[in-house]
Amino acid sequence: MEADVPRLSAEELRLFSEKIGQRLVERPLDLDPASHRERVAGLLRQAGEASFYQLLGIVPTAATQEVHEAYDQMARLVHPLNAERLGLVGREAVLEMLFERVTQAYLTLYQTDRRKAYDRELSPESWSAAWAPAQGRRWEEVKDVAQ
């Protein structure tokens, strides 16, 4: 399914990381470390099999502004700058992988042509999972924390 999704270049990833890192410094997450670890662990458990919709915690009908807001919140949650706070010093690669995957989800779902191509490749199981109401609740929780 994701074989057709263009990979991020190292430069693109660096630019996104710098931008989100700056936002994280300006507006730190208002989330206790234990809850933060739990959320990151949940994302890590589903990262390999989750659709991009699930990773961002949005439904397939989400508008581009919702995609952008969801990305901003999720990227701040998994940004490698959080390594010390999460007890992952020396294992930042875990956060880098999540950050890259969330950024790839954003770039795919935010751009109409890429999103249409991605949607055509989703399996029926992935479509069903993308509509799961629990995902919407998770997005609302993340949004509340970040704000």
Q: Is the pLDDT of residue 135 over 90?
A: no
pLDDT band of 134, cuts 50, 70, 90: very low
pTM: 0.82
Q: Is the pLDDT of residue 113 over 50?
A: yes
Residue 133: per-residue pLDDT:
45
User: In Å, how far are 53, 90, 110, 143 from 114, measured between CA atoms?
Assistant: 13, 35, 8, 25
User: 26-35, 41-50, 71-80: which has the highest mean pLDDT?
Assistant: 71-80
Residues 128-145: what's their mean pLDDT?
Answer: 55
Amino acid code (one letter) for 138: R
Q: Tens digit of pLDDT for each residue in 66-92?
A: 999 999 999 999 999 999 999 999 989
